[in-house]
Structure 1
Amino acid sequence: MSTTTPAAARVGARVHVQKFGTFLSNMVMPNIGAFIAWGLITALFIEVGWLPELGIGDSPDSWVAKIGGWDEDGGGIVGPMITYLLPILIGYTGGKIVYDTRGGVVGAIATMGVIAGTEIPMFMGAMIMGPLGGWTMKHIDALWDGKIKPGFEMLVNNFAAGIWGGILATFGFFIMSPIVTFIADKLGAGVDFLVDNGLLPLTSLIIEPAKVLFLNNAINHGVLTPLGTAEAAEAGKSVLFLLEANPGPGLGLLLAYALFGKGLAKASAPGAAIIHFFGGIHEIYFPYVLMKPKLILAMIAGGMTGVFVNVLFDVGLRAPAAPGSVFAVYAQTANFLGVTLSMLAAAAVSFVVAAFLLKTDRAVEADDELVHATASMESMKGKKSIASSTLVGSVAGAPVNHIVFACDAGMGSSAMGASVLRRKIQEAGFADVTVSNKAIASLDDDVDLVVSHQDLTDRARLKAPSASHISVDNFMGSPRYDEIVELLRQTNAPGGDVQVATAVDEGPSVLAEESIVLGATPADRDAAITQAGELLVAVGAVDPAYVDAMHTREQSVSTHMGNGLAIPHGTNEAKGSIHRTAISFVRYDEPVDWNGSPVEFVVGIAGTGDEHLGLLSRIAQVFVDRDEVERLRAARTPQEIKAVLDRVGG
């Protein structure tokens, strides 16, 4: 028999609320672009919008009035978008989360029923009917899974979705619409009570702690966004959109840390402030509060101040500001003075309170305290935080089992970097760590850590948003490799050999002796790339067009590897010009100026598969060993070059 302590029960309840809030957020966030579009159309074309206020189309028979819906016909775009488009998008997304596209379609049909049964924007109804449609359709399909005769699957599936969608739409029309309308009216009355009695700032007592504990999504997207959208449809704006999105309190906290903090927290706070205020990623300041929980007082004080100023100046947004960036806030308001004062006042108050608390704090602050706070935040969130990982430069506290080097084509730079890091990790003695290389286009969001050139990191983040990302500017000798090994010492248990994902032996003809040139005439970078490419053309490995692709690749990201080595290769799109895998090797007696760095060795690469990776691994090991590089400099024949490469273990 097991017992549950009150503390464990509280934790379990919190986790369930967080999951619920995340689910609500996942229905709304993919559709924020539609909310922004509706907000901009509203801001421009309604009767009190920007264009009529400027005297453009200010009569009921103008084209502005027709779009805004305040003409004699009362049509337009604003009303149908908020009544039909936005709720149906939310309902479709909710159903799709539960049961893919089929669940999304049934969820959208079900949402239409609850929309038609009421006169208010039915966002809460969409958040109920969408997932309900997907969940019920999933279980209905399971009843006859594998029992339909071949040839009748499409017929049964389409009629089942249509019939069940119709039933749910009818249920939504007659049953759910009155229920959701009643709930919305009561919640709206509660907000009106707070506004009428000047108590709206008190919401910060709930919202600010909820943000840090990742309970804000249940409040923001489950209550504030639907109520705010309904209010904006009637009044043209809503202050509810600013209760959680105001970036002022977080800015004040981070500025206080930048001036009065200690250690890693003080050093990282300025960068975090930029990401928070201009990028709108509020979660980046959560670890700073978790590190010193009493700072929640500063966040509450700043939040209450911001709400008070917004109410005082009658500030509101026309649509949600997501992410909560200063730019997103400005894009959705017409009262720039009021919203600016609210952000400044909130930042000032949170700064003063946080500065006082930090200055009077006598606790000894360890440099890794922020790392532990970040790990705590990610544990509560339930997944890694891209923003917060920038605070510590790595995966805070989470074991790293799969590292991927990503480059544009996945042929050269990433393979070399993977070889160097793999060797370091192997020497450190860690088990179950896979080091592989891929093209960015082939990245999956199932890796722990992605290493890429600093010019490619933003692209890599788009392909693997849940991974932590480390940028390097030198694939051969980057100090970040030692940081990764140190990270493994903190997060992984040492053990046996590293799993090698790219150790593939090359065939005997990958590096032909006629593709090796020693004592080449000094040249500039472009001439060196051409020479390396023409050697590949000469042995029939590539078409001449591949040489042009090598230049194109160089224009996007440099192939300089460090330690006097460059490995020019074509773009991923140019693989059709490759007939077989081959490598060329050129040594210059006078270094080539490669974007400001000296290069003595140029290795041209054309890879159709993985045959070249074994040789690249050996080249990488050579160029991190000074003695081996000296042997390459001293070699007098192509045979000696191959002997140096063959002597290193692949």
Structure 2
Amino acid sequence: MAASPAMSGRKAAQVRLQRFGAFLTGMIMPNLPAFVAWGLITSLFISLGWTPNAVIGGFGNADVGSWQGAATQLVEAEDGTTFRQYLGLVGPMITYLLPLLIANAGGRIVYGERGGVVASIATVGIIVGSTIPMFLGAMIVGPLAAWIMKKVDAIWHGKIRPGFEMLVNMYSAGIVGGTLAVAALFGIAPLVTQISNVLGAVVEWLAANSLLPLLSVIVEPAKVLFLNNAVGNGILVPLGVQQVTESGKSLLFLVESNPGPGLGILLAYTLFGVGSAKASAPGAIIIHFFGGIHEVYFPFVLMKPMLIVAAILGGATGVATNAVLGSGLVGPAAPGSIFAVLAQTSRDSYLGVILSVLFAAGVSFLVSALILRASRRRDLELGESGDLEAAIAQTEANKGKGSSVLGTLSQRDGEPTTMADATTPVTATAVADGPVRSIIFACDAGMGSSAMGASVLRSKLKKAGAGDVSVVNVAVANLHDDADLVISQRELTDRARIRAPHSRHLSVDNFMNSPVYDQVVDEVTARRHDAEGADK
């Protein structure tokens, strides 16, 4: 009994850590297309890119350029002379667009659209107050500004006279946003800049002493705990951007996104694993290596915690390879697919980057194989099919929310929830029986495996002659109460019911191949036939 308070404290700390990791992910994930766009523009149009373009890439002497209408900036050369250089797209996107998008996403999470607007206003202050990309600053200031706005609104909530709501709302947001922007400019920006400079000095010291591979000791465990966004996008990406502006590439972009360590672990499970882990590993390889969704290998690590050693050594090998060969990327590889990595590789670094992935996978595979072989007899005797389920659950707990991708690994496909359960009205206002015309797959981000799940069901319905049924996928936060049936992961069903109380809800564990889909098809066709018979 004496241990209960301690256990409770650890559980509370775990929950806070989960929420923090999920919050960081929520700020970064929706904005990955912007990172991809910036990386592609950088790889193509900077002076060291594939097709250098001064106007787009932002270099060269604009006074003698052929595009006089483009924006320029005054630059001081090393000899002290000044000249006008094209502003380009690369600099403004990394300086303004990406931090503002991150801040807006964080503000929306805290306080909806109003929070996103105020967060963006305040973040301009920290951007202008620093000479480095303010990703870390945006991740701090954005949510903080939205929280302050939320508290300010609570002061006079319900006390405004009718007809004055818009006036108060507009000016209060403007005043709070402007005040926070000034405060961020003079107060927070110098502090975050100093922190970034210290971190940059640490990275330079590690590079000077050939110790950069030690970064993997922090990054690889952080990935499994879903804290990689704070490390990667808050620290490594801004430092990498600075290196790109100086030398045209950076290996820091590949410290976190290298798919090699995860590939080695999954290959080892494919050859030396047992039970459901062995069966699931080949499919996970495709999602991880080609799809770039690294979280699919996290449950395999959690099943055998010693495998974190394989991930660390594999990651360190990849970093060391890039350091020795001087290879790197010109922008973040997001997601961490081999295609994204190659798309962002500097034109003189393909050999080094490819070798870093292969060597990282090789080392990770060898270490993982030794660990799995050492415990193979015990695993065969005890059976480990339940371990994968527990590891998936633990991974989702670390993430702080359900994962549609991890559903592809689960062997629980639909067991706890039958179609009969799903068609039972969940509220007093649930729709009556009738033709099913619209089905929505709802997941946390509105993409990934929920999109593939929607595609699977859409294909089944088409083959059954019900191709006119609308099947789409959306984020739970964007779910509207106009669908006949909502399909979501078990962890998200309660949230989905709140967003769509008049719809019927079906919980599944595997978006990809749940047997419940066949029951959905049977019901759709049966109700259609009943409706056609009634019409006759």
TM-score (norm 2): 0.75
Aligned-residue offset at 1:395: 6.3
Match of 1:366 in 2: 384
2: CA distance between counterparts of 1:67 and 1:39?
A: 21
1:559, 1:567 within 8 Å by CA — same for their partners in 2? no
User: Does the 8 Å CA contact 2:46/2:53 hold for their aligned counterparts?
Assistant: no
Q: Is the contact made by 1:45 and 1:64 (CA closer than 8 Å) also made in structure 2? A: no
Are 1:52 and 2:63 counterparts?
Answer: no
Instruction: Note closer, same or farther for the CA distance 1:29–1:263 as it changes in structure 2 (3 Å cut).
Output: same
- Does residue 470 of structure 2 align to residue 462 of structure 1? no
The 8 Å contact of residues 253 and 350 in structure 1, kept in 2 or not, is answered as yes
**Matched residue of 1:237: which SS?**
coil
Displacement of 1:443 in angstroms is 5.2
* Residue pairs, 1:348-363, within 5 angstroms: 348-361=362-375, 362-363=377-378
What do residues 282-338 of structure 1 show as CA deviations (whole Å, max 9, x unaligned)? 111111111111222211221111111111222222222121111111111122221
Q: 1:191 to 1:424 in 2, by over 3 A?
A: closer
Output the CA distance in 2 between the equivalents of 1:124 and 1:423.
Answer: 46
Matches within 5 A, 1:540-559: none
1:347 deviates by 0.8
Shift of 1:424: 11
1:305 and 2:317 aligned? yes
Letter in 2 for 1:454: V
Q: Deviations over 1:553-606 (max 9, x none)?
A: xxxx9999689x977979xxxxxxxxxx9414xxxxxxxxxxxxxxxxxxxx98
**1:38 matched to 2:50:** no
Question: Whole-Å Cα distance in 1 between the matches of residues 413 and 322 of structure 2?
Answer: 38
Which of residues 112, 134, 138 in structure 2 aligns to 1:122?
Answer: 134
Q: Is the 8 A contact 2:213 2:316 kept in 1?
A: yes
Of 583, 605, 610 in structure 1, the residue corresponding to residue 532 of structure 2 is 583
Question: Higher relative contact order at CA 8 Å, sep ≥6: structure 1 or structure 2?
Answer: 2
Query: Is residue 164 from structure 1 mapped to residue 182 from structure 2 by the alignment?
Result: no
1:112 aligns with 2:124: yes
- Answer yes or no: is 1:204 the counterpart of 2:202: no
CA–CA separation in structure 1 for the residues paired with 2:135 and 2:253: 15
CA contact (8 A) 1:38 1:81 kept: yes
Map 1:232-381 → 2, pairs under 5 A:
232-334=244-346, 335-361=349-375, 362-364=377-379, 365-381=383-399
Please tell me whether residue 80 in structure 1 is matched to residue 95 in structure 2: no
- Structure 2 CA distance for partners of 1:355 and 1:443, relative to 1, 3 Å: closer
Task: For residue 212 of structure 1, report the CA deviation from its aligned partner.
Answer: 2.0
* Distance of 2:422 and 2:7 partners within structure 1: 43
Alignment deviations for residues 95-146 of structure 1 (CA, whole Å, 9 cap, x no partner): 1211111111111111111111222222222222211211111111111111
The Cα offsets for residues 416-451 of structure 1, whole Å up to 9 and x where unpaired, read as xxxxx328999xxxxxxx99995445555599x998
Structure 1: any 5+ residue segments left out of the alignment? 404-420, 427-433, 467-486, 489-499, 503-556, 571-580, 585-604, 607-637, 639-650
Bigger shift: residues 156-165 or 367-376: 367-376
Q: d(CA) in 2 for partners of 1:63 and 1:20?
A: 49
- Native 8 Å contact 2:71 2:86 kept in 1: no
Cα 1:168–1:202 change in 2 (3 A) is same
The one-letter code sitting in structure 2 at the alignment partner of 1:165 is: G
For the 8 Å contact 1:67–1:77, the answer to whether it is kept is no
Alignment of 1:14-29 (within 5 A): 14-29=14-29
Structure 1 range deviating more: 32-41 or 456-465: 456-465
Higher mean C-alpha displacement, 123-132 vs 303-312: 123-132
Question: Partner of 1:137: helix, strand, or coil?
Answer: helix
CA shift in 2, pair 1:464/1:118, >3 Å:
closer
Counterpart CA distance in 1 for 2:322 and 2:331 is 15
Work out whether residues 440 and 463 of structure 1, in 8 Å CA contact, stay in contact via their aligned partners in 2.
no
Q: Aligned in 2, Cα 1:322/1:59: closer, same or farther, shift over 3 Å?
A: closer
Question: How many Å apart are 1:461 and its aligned residue?
Answer: 7.4
- Partner SS, residue 293 of structure 1: coil
The percentage of aligned residue pairs carrying the same residue is 49
Secondary structure of the 2:84 match is: coil
How far apart are residue 147 of structure 1 and its match?
1.1
CA distance in 2 between partners of 1:214 and 1:394 (Å): 24
What CA distance in whole angstroms lies between the structure 1 residues aligned with 2:274 and 2:29?
35
Equivalent pair of 1:28/1:90 in contact (CA under 8 Å): yes
- TM normalised by structure 1 equals 0.63
Alignment equivalent of 1:392, drawn from 407, 410, 423: 410
Amino acid at match of 1:254: L
Between the aligned partners of 1:68 and 1:44, the Cα distance in structure 2 is 20
Deviations 1:256-279 (A, max 9, x none): 111111111111111111111001
Distance 2:183 2:255 in 1: 34
Residues 7/300 of structure 1: CA separation in 2 closer, same or farther (3 Å cut): farther
What 5-or-longer segments of structure 2 have no aligned partner?
76-82, 425-429, 461-469, 478-488, 491-501, 505-516
Matched, 1:140 2:152: yes
Cα distance change, pair 33–43 in 1 and its aligned pair in 2 (3 A) = same
Q: Distance in 1 between matches of 2:67 and 2:323?
A: 30
Contact in 2 for aligned 1:256/1:354 (Cα 8 Å): yes
Q: CA deviation at 1:343?
A: 0.7
Listed one character per residue, the Cα deviations across residues 435-474 of structure 1 (whole Å, up to 9, x for unaligned) are 9995445555599x998783528996733679xxxxxxxx
Contact 1:254–1:285 (CA<8 Å) still a contact in 2?
yes
Contact 2:440 2:471 in 1 (8 A): no
Q: Give distance in 2, aligned partners of 1:233 and 1:68.
A: 17
Does the C-alpha gap of structure 1 residues 47 and 112 become closer, same or farther in structure 2, counting only changes over 3 Å?
same
1:47–1:68 Cα contact (<8 Å) kept = no
Alignment check: 8 A CA contact 1:315 1:339 kept: yes
Please tell me the residue identity of whatever aligns with 1:463.
Answer: V
Structure 1 residues 445, 333: closer, same or farther in 2, change over 3 A? closer
**Distance (whole Å) between structure 1 residues aligned to residue 364 and residue 399 of structure 2:** 24
Whether the 8 Å contact between 1:45 and 1:68 is mirrored in structure 2 is no
Whichever structure has more helix as a proportion of its residues is 2
Asked whether the equivalents of residues 276 and 282 of structure 1 are also in contact (C-alpha less than 8 Å), the reply is yes
The alpha-carbon distance between structure 1 residues 440 and 289, as it changes in their structure 2 partners (threshold 3 A), is farther
Structure 1: distance between partners of 2:150 and 2:503? 38
For 2:235 and 2:258, the matched residues in 1 are separated by 17
Q: Aligned in 2, Cα 1:158/1:212: closer, same or farther, shift over 3 Å?
A: same
- Structure 2 contact 28–229 (Cα < 8 Å) conserved: no
Q: Which moved more, 1:150-159 or 1:116-125?
A: 116-125
Distance 1:149 1:53 in 2: 57
Mean CA deviation greater in 455-464 or 385-394:
455-464
Indicate how the Cα distance of structure 1 residues 204 and 322 shifts in structure 2: closer, same or farther if over 3 A, else same. same
What is the aligned residue count? 463
Report the alpha carbon displacement of residue 46 of structure 1 after superposing the two structures with TM.
1.6
- Per-residue CA deviations over 1:150-182 (Å, capped at 9, x if unaligned) read 111111111111111111111011111111111
Structure 1 Cα separation of the partners of residues 194 and 231 of structure 2: 18
Distance change (3 Å), C-alpha of 1:67 and 1:281 = farther
| Distance in 2 (alpha carbons) for counterparts of 1:220 and 1:97 | 20
1:74/1:216 CA distance change after superposition, 3 Å: same
The aligned residue for residue 80 of structure 2 is none
